[in-house]
């Protein structure tokens, strides 16, 4: 990934706004450009745009949406911003938190009303760290469905996607103004496309083992569950251009990936009262701190595995997720008449497991500080899943201002470079514990629209 001098370079074609990457961030940026009447093209290395977005559950947190109002839910951007900062221990950029929490509600409404993305409010349980029901997802609750809908919307809006277009170089001048990009086709053919503004929407570095080892050493040997093509190109270009990067140690992990099936088990089962035990049948953490940091807690257990244990009520809450239903079909999710049967099946000491289940009765203060009040204690029959921890995506990246403009360390903005989604530093603070559920698509969809709007404004003068 290089920066090449732009002087004297001729480009085969010129498109006002180019967007590197065609995941959620790229598509939403493209929709914003098209709504502003500006021509744009997404450049995507894969034969078909998928990205981590298609692998995700596709759930977008947003406050103040029409869907919340229709249910008379009291939620505000200020409440959402406070939740983000509480989780990030106040270490997220307050300007960006303010802008994202204030605009994401209108962005979800805009995608639903103008671009026919069939968002629904996800009901039944509140995600960890959120003080309101504010997750929005498409009917099947899958990122693949969200990507299909975004692709259809982009096509209808006239936003072009060039697939099999691996961007390998940016052409820039001494001021950091980007004049175009160089891309390579699968057969090795090289092309150069010129632009007036460039949006980096090529996510973070979860697919780059060296960067993961350098910045996220605790995840070095963990399963990477995101898109393999996200190799940290935005960070590499940004650094070569002299831009600032921040919070490269931040990421979303997940402590509930079925092992060995490799399928996500919704955290709804924990929020409704489920627990995680290790091979010794003991709980080892407060499961309500968040599924992200739980990845590390699970990987620290014997054999790097844990067991989700929950009952019918929790199971019912998870059934709305297609992935959960798939996990059932694969045999990852198993049902047991009682704790003895579950312990026998997974080889757990029964006495310890029974003690762990008894902790959900809330009779004495929880050793890990979890408050079990508000949910009934677990009752047989039980459900059990063997799980491990995984890395989902990185949250650190290029520093952007609240218009998604890429900044230098001294705060100066690059003339025409924008970043959105995992390419930009998100709002999760410096480490795994700062990730509030949904911060990934908040950055992708929220910053995607902001970047697309700002890039369109910049080229329309
Ligand atoms: C299993 C899983 C579940 C998740 N669930 C949720 C959830 O429910 N809610 C939530 O908020 N977040 C969730 N996330 C995180 C979320 O998926 C990401 O934060 C989000 O999809 C990032 O969007 P993006 O557009 O930045 O990146 P992506 O969707 O990954 O798109 C980036 C695209 O850029 C392309 N690209 C990369 N480099 C180049 C290059 N040099 N040239 C051309 N193209 C390039 C890639 O091929 C890719 O298609 C989940 C993640 C995983 C893995």
What is the chain's length?
461
What ligand 1 atom has the least distance to the C-alpha of 226? 53
Q: Using CA atoms, how far apart are residues 349 and 453, in angstroms rounded to an integer?
A: 57
Q: Phi/psi at 160 (nearest 5 deg)? A: -85, 145
Q: Please, is 325 exposed, middle or buried when counting C-beta atoms within 10 Å of its C-beta (0-12, 13-18, 19+)?
A: middle
Is there a contact between 104 and 110 (Cβ–Cβ < 8 Å)? Answer: no
CA 423 to ligand 1 centroid distance, Å: 9
State if residue 43 touches ligand 1 by the CB under 6 angstroms criterion: yes
Is there a contact between 43 and 17 (Cβ–Cβ < 8 Å)? Answer: no
The three-point CA angle 238-244-247 to 5° equals 105
CA 224 to ligand 1 centroid distance, Å: 12
Instruction: Give the distance from CA 439 to its chain's centroid.
Output: 6
pLDDT in tens, the chain (461 residues): 799 999 999 999 999 999 999 999 999 999 999 999 999 999 999 999 999 999 999 999 999 999 999 999 989 999 999 999 999 999 999 999 999 999 999 999 999 999 999 999 999 888 989 999 999 999 999 999 999 999 999 999 999 999 999 999 999 999 999 999 999 999 999 999 999 999 999 999 999 999 999 999 999 999 999 999 999 999 999 999 999 999 999 999 999 999 999 999 999 999 999 999 999 999 999 999 989 999 999 999 999 999 999 999 999 999 988 999 999 999 999 999 999 999 999 999 999 999 999 999 988 899 999 999 989 999 999 999 999 999 999 999 999 999 999 999 999 999 999 999 999 999 999 999 999 999 999 999 999 999 999 999 999 96
* Structural domain boundaries in the chain: 2-243+397-459, 251-391
Domain 251-391 has CATH 3.40.50.620: no
Q: Using CA atoms, how far apart are residues 337 and 222, in angstroms rounded to an integer?
A: 33
CA 227 to ligand 1 centroid distance, Å: 7
State if residue 201 touches ligand 1 by the CB under 6 angstroms criterion: yes
Q: What is the pTM of this model?
A: 0.94
| Residue 182: C-alpha distances to residues 178, 188, 452 (Å) | 11, 12, 21
CA 188 to ligand 1 centroid distance, Å: 25
CA 374 to ligand 1 centroid distance, Å: 35
Is there a contact between 268 and 126 (Cβ–Cβ < 8 Å)? Answer: no
What ligand 1 atom has the least distance to the C-alpha of 166? 42
Q: Phi/psi at 203 (nearest 5 deg)? A: 60, -165
What ligand 1 atom has the least distance to the C-alpha of 448? 25
Place of tokens 């408050």: 371
Cα dihedral 224, 225, 227, 230 in deg (nearest 10):
-40
Class of domain 2-243+397-459: alpha beta
Residue 189: partners with Cβ closer than 8 Å, 6 or more residues away: none
| DSSP secondary structure of 241-269 | TTB-EE-TT-EEEEEEEETTT--B--THH
State if residue 204 touches ligand 1 by the CB under 6 angstroms criterion: no
State if residue 444 touches ligand 1 by the CB under 6 angstroms criterion: yes
């Amino acid at each position: 990934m290089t920066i090449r001098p732009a002087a004297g370079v001729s480009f085969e074609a010129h498109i006002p706004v180019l967007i590197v990457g065609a995941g959620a961030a790229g598509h939403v940026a493209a929709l914003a450009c098209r709504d502003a009447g500006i021509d744009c093209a997404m450049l995507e290395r894969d034969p078909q745009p998928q990205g981590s977005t298609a692998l995700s559950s596709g759930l977008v947190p947003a406050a103040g949406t029409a869907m919340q109002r229709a249910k008379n839910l009291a939620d505000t951007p200020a409440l959402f911003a406070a939740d983000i900062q509480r989780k990030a221990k106040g270490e997220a950029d307050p300007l960006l938190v303010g802008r994202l929490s204030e605009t994401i509600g209108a962005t979800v409404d805009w995608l639903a009303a103008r671009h026919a993305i069939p968002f629904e409010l996800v009901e039944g349980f509140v995600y960890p760290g959120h003080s309101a029901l504010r997750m929005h997802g498409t009917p099947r609750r899958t990122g693949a469905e969200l990507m299909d809908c975004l692709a259809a919307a982009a096509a209808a809006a006239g936003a072009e996607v060039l697939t099999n277009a691996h961007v390998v170089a940016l052409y820039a001048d001494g001021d950091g103004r980007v004049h175009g990009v160089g891309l390579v086709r699968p057969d090795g053919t090289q092309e150069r496309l010129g632009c007036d503004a460039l949006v980096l929407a090529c996510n973070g570095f979860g697919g780059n083992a060296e960067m993961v080892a350098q910045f996220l050493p605790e995840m070095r040997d963990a399963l990477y569950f995101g898109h393999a093509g996200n190799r940290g190109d935005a960070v590499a270009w940004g650094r070569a251009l002299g831009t600032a990067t921040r919070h490269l140690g931040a990421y979303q992990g997940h402590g509930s990936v079925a092992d060995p099936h490799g399928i996500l088990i919704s955290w709804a089962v924990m929020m409704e009262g489920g627990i995680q035990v290790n091979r010794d049948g003991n709980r080892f953490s407060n499961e309500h701190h968040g599924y992200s940091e739980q990845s590390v807690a699970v990987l620290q257990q014997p054999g790097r595995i844990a067991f989700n244990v929950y009952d019918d009520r929790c199971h019912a809450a998870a059934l709305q997720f297609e992935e959960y239903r798939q996990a059932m079909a694969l045999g990852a999710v198993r049902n047991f008449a009682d704790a003895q049967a579950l312990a026998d099946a997974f080889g757990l000491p029964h006495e310890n497991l029974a003690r762990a289940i008894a902790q959900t009765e809330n009779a004495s203060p929880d050793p890990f500080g979890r408050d079990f009040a508000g949910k009934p204690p677990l009752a047989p029959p039980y459900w059990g899943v063997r799980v491990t921890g995984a890395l989902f995506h990185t949250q650190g990246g290029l520093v952007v201002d609240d218009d998604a403009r890429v900044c230098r360390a001294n705060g100066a903005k690059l003339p025409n470079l924008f970043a959105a989604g995992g390419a930009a530093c998100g709002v999760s603070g410096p480490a795994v514990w700062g990730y509030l559920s949904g911060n990934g698509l908040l950055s992708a969809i929220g910053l995607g629209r902001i970047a697309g709007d700002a890039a369109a404004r910049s080229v329309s003068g």
